[in-house]
Structure 1
Amino acid sequence: MISGGSSSPVSIIAFFLTDEDFYQVRACCTFKGPQSEETEYTVSYFFNKNLMMEYNSTRGNWTGFTAYTIEAAKWWNSDHLDPLKKRIERKLLCEDTLDLIQSIDNLTTIPTVRLKSVKRPNGEHASTLVCSAYNFYPKQIRMMWMRNGQEVTTDVSYSDVMPNGDWYYQTHSYLEYFPTSAEKIACMVEHLGLSEPMFVVWDPSLPVEQRTRIAVGLCGLVIGFVIAISGIIYYNKKSAAYITVFLLT
């Protein structure tokens, strides 16, 4: 099950060095209790999603994870002004905004889940089912594929949980499968905003709009066929009456 977290990112800064390389700084407040003194403040440096160096207010020092950042961490840990800077940052970003951050962190928006099938362009019988979750908050979410009530663990892939840029997130899951009429496939979604898991069952039948268009088309075809048959019968009867009158005269 998805459980509530106590961490809230309060600042993310990214610098794009090239089209492929980027550098990111992330500050985070972790609430360990109701008092502001129990808040842990961390600053993390990333390069191309790889954690390079991190400051932790509980430990009170920097930790490097590469040869270069290990030496940089030693230099920053020897700087007597750096602890003061971090205490000021912790107060401004975490302690002074504790109520606001916790109220935002408690907000939830349940995902909108859609399920569709994508045919392979090479004509193979296998298809891809796509389960998409849109416009949810917070980002913690779990998606699973179920076949006849059992979890599917093969031929399944997932995208990253991607921000929309408006506090909401989206993510997608993919299932490669061969369609059969005997099995029941569903996408299960768990999220903090849901009191119980959401199940979206795959229905291979045509959507209502398509069924309606086909029904209207068939009705038109039947009506046209009836009119044509009636015209033929009427023509045959009229021709027979004309021949009878002609013979009598």
Structure 2
Amino acid sequence: MELGVPNTLICFVNDFHPPVVDITWTKKGQLVDQSEISQTQLLQQRLQLPHHVLPELHIYSCSVHHISLQIPLTRFWGGYVYQMISDCEYGDNITDTVYFVKNIFNQKLNNIYDSRLGKYIGFGELGMKNAAHYNNQSWKMQARKVEVDTLRRYNVRLFRKSILDRKVPPNVKVHQTKPADYGERSMLVCSVWGFYPQEVRVSWLRDGEEVTTDVFSSDVLANGDWSFQFHTYLELTLKRGERVTCRVDHSSLQESLEVEWDTFALDVKHATIAVGIVFFFAGLAVAAVGALYYWWKKQRFHANRL
């Protein structure tokens, strides 16, 4: 609803039977002139409201009369929305703060108290009248001055504790994006998440030496719970015995956090293959020895018969 311009209210009626219904509009308990009402085939009535230039409270209602109802079903719409918001704005130096009291009418800023000026400033004709009225109320101006010291001082402590002094260390994990073997091209990802504040530095090390080539990184992403996440990728050819490490530097850490890529799965795979090969040749040797022994026994048996 906006003052000074035509507005339309809609009363939508559905899911009823039989299809005979009567809809009436009232304003502050009085029937509305039918010339201001239009109706669609979908039983959707539109009420065209005239210009309202005075901030008086108008209560409108839509009443539905139907054979299925013992009493008419009525829905109300009315009034205006008024909000008062108090907030503090802080600069880089948290002792440099500004206290505001904002009065908002129908989502439009009507007037505002600014601690830098020590008074209300109005916007528009009505807002300037309200600001002048508030500035002449000594008790209100005294209350604003007290709030500047009490609320601002409390909020500074809360702001420092919950924002400036808050530090949460990161979680770090290094893994392959998809399986690959030694000697093959692969990509490792270092995932860093759950940290606060946002600033973080993540780097890759190969055998203790930092690398910057073939490195790709995401932006620092907000999780929506006052924590952040970051992902960086390293493309490389896997080498047996090479140490690949993700190093994270963050203000919550006393020293760099280094997480090494775990090659255990690859090593176990190759160890399993090696053991399998050993057992294969061991079995082959046993079989050869057995065959040789059998041949020797057979030859000796024939020799004894002769």
TM-score, with structure 2 as normaliser = 0.43
1:215 Cα deviation from its structure 2 partner: 0.9
Spell out, residue by residue over 1:127-154, the C-alpha distance to the aligned partner (whole angstroms, 9 max, x if none): 6553321121222223345788567388
Instruction: Tell me, in whole angstroms, the C-alpha distance in 2 between the residues paired with 1:126 and 1:226.
Output: 34
1:59 Cα deviation from its structure 2 partner: 6.7
Percent of paired sites with the same residue: 22
Q: Tell me the amino acid that sits aligned with residue 162 of structure 1.
A: A
Of 282, 297, 303, which residue of structure 2 is paired with 1:241?
297
CA RMSD across the alignment: 5.0
Count of aligned residue pairs for this structure pair: 185
When residues 150 and 230 of structure 1 are mapped into structure 2, their CA distance, relative to the original with a 3 A threshold, is: closer
TM-score, with structure 1 as normaliser = 0.50
Which residue in the other structure is 1:223 paired with?
A: 279
When residues 238 and 90 of structure 1 are mapped into structure 2, their CA distance, relative to the original with a 3 A threshold, is: farther
Which residue in the other structure is 1:163 paired with?
A: 223
Higher RCO structure, 1 or 2 (CA under 8 Å, sep 6+): 1
Unaligned runs of 5+ in 2: 1-86, 101-111, 118-122, 179-183
1:95 Cα deviation from its structure 2 partner: 4.6
Residue aligned with 1:130, SS: strand
Instruction: Tell me, in whole angstroms, the C-alpha distance in 2 between the residues paired with 1:217 and 1:242.
Output: 37
Aligned runs of 1:58-137 on 2, under 5 Å? 80=131, 95-105=153-163, 106-118=165-177, 128-137=187-196
Aligned runs of 1:201-212 on 2, under 5 Å? 207-212=263-268
1:226 Cα deviation from its structure 2 partner: 0.7
Spell out, residue by residue over 1:166-214, the C-alpha distance to the aligned partner (whole angstroms, 9 max, x if none): x432112345x56497x9976543311122444556x6xx711321232
Instruction: Tell me, in whole angstroms, the C-alpha distance in 2 between the residues paired with 1:82 and 1:198.
Output: 57
8 Å CA contact retained: 1:144, 1:189: yes
Instruction: Tell me, in whole angstroms, the C-alpha distance in 2 between the residues paired with 1:223 and 1:126.
Output: 30
1:100 Cα deviation from its structure 2 partner: 3.7
8 Å CA contact retained: 1:30, 1:41: no
Aligned runs of 1:2-17 on 2, under 5 Å? none
8 Å CA contact retained: 2:198, 2:220: no
Is it true that 1:141 corresponds to 2:141 in the alignment? Answer: no
8 Å CA contact retained: 1:164, 1:170: no
Instruction: Tell me, in whole angstroms, the C-alpha distance in 1 between the residues paired with 2:152 and 2:159.
Output: 8
Residue aligned with 1:225, SS: helix
Instruction: Tell me, in whole angstroms, the C-alpha distance in 1 between the residues paired with 2:116 and 2:185.
Output: 53
Of 249, 252, 265, which residue of structure 2 is paired with 1:190?
249
Q: Which structure would you say has the larger Rg?
A: 2
1:220 Cα deviation from its structure 2 partner: 3.0
Instruction: Tell me, in whole angstroms, the C-alpha distance in 2 between the residues paired with 1:129 and 1:89.
Output: 55
